[in-house]
Amino acid sequence: MTQANVILPAEWHRQDAVMLTWPHRNTDWADMLEAAENNFRQILLHIGRHQPVIVACDPAVDVASIETLAHSVPHPVFVFSAASNDTWARDHGPVTVYAGGQPILRDFTFNAWGGKFESTLDNAITRTLHQQGAFDGTPLDTVDFVLEGGGIESDGQGTLLVTSECLLAPTRNPGLDKRGIESVLADKLGAQRVLWLDHGYLAGDDTDSHIDTLARFCSPDTIAYVACDDPEDEHFEALAAMKAQLETFCTVDGTPYNLVPLPWPDACYSEDGERLPATYANFLVINEAVLVPTYGVPQDEAALTIFRELFPDRAIEAINCRTLIEQHGSLHCVTMQIPEGVLPQ
């Protein structure tokens, strides 16, 4: 049954900080570590201009370099020690809800998108940070349920947008069907209804179609989604089917959503010819800005123009994330917002 006093805030809700997990030589970033660190520096600098940053650092990370970087931003950068397998804070970081108006950190199980990679260290990061006081004593609820932050989108009013391919993957919660999963989402996240997308994917994606690569709430009545306009592209049919299903979704009051298509970036490939999951849907909303991933392709500027229209009261800031997609994620994937009320003011 839905807990009426539990709510998962929308990303545009006021935030106390954004969490990052820093890349290091013992991760898959080893062969491109300098480029990855440069990308993370840019992300930290952009966020730090607007709000505090929490950084989880493996012992292999040069913490001094991050502390030096912190002097370049007006907001605090809090550095904590936590061993890590990788850098995808969106999926191993805490999902913060409000219960009776008070924040609670939900620490869901992270199994690297259905056991695709080693994840024991990443699964412990939220607890490790909590033990060190990173979240100022905010209650922590460790949940025996596999869920990644990139797999859920909240409108802040009780509606969640998810994909069937991700949440129903047998490698995540094999004992639960759709109704069982909805029950957990109601109990732990306050979901009053769940909109299930049954179509859409990105080549090169390891997450089983995380919603944050495909379709995102921009307000309670607006959804931005990736749209492929090339009939020769392998994604064309699946994304057309996704759009058609989005057109059937309505807000709680029965009004169809305002659907905003995002540009389809030119295909990006790794050196070995693998297509990489470039998507403008992997943006991050922070307090005064929206950080938009770009990829050095002609569609970047059109995407930025759309975001200026979607978020007229926030600065739109581009971050080149061409390096990040080499490891099959992008800007939203490496960040996790910490909503207001968790950190002392």
Three-state secondary-structure class, residue 208: coil
Strand order in the sheet with 222-226: 215-219, 222-226, 258-262
Residue partners of 211: CB distance under 8 A and separation at least 6: 150, 151, 152, 153, 161, 162, 163, 166, 197
Q: Note whether 281 and 295 are within 8 A (CB).
A: no
Distance of CA 71 to the CA centre of its chain: 26
Strand order in the sheet with 336-339: 77-81, 53-57, 15-21, 336-339
> Known catalytic residues?
333
Q: Which amino acid is at 41?
A: R
Tell me how far apart the alpha carbons of residues 292 and 307 are, in angstroms, rounded to a whole number. 8
Take residue 223 and report the two structure tokens written for it. Answer: 């959804």
In this structure, the dihedral spanned by the alpha carbons of residues 202, 25, 146 and 281, taken in order and rounded to 10 degrees, is -30
Alpha helices in the chain (DSSP H): 33-48, 63-70, 89-92, 112-115, 120-131, 164-167, 178-189, 236-246, 300-310
Tell me how far apart the alpha carbons of residues 284 and 343 are, in angstroms, rounded to a whole number. 20
Three-state secondary-structure class, residue 49: coil
Taken in order 323, 329, 331, 335, the sign of the CA dihedral is: negative
Taken in order 128, 132, 133, 135, the sign of the CA dihedral is: negative
- Token pair 């905010």 is found at 138
- Candidates 288, 295, 334; CA nearest to 314 is 288
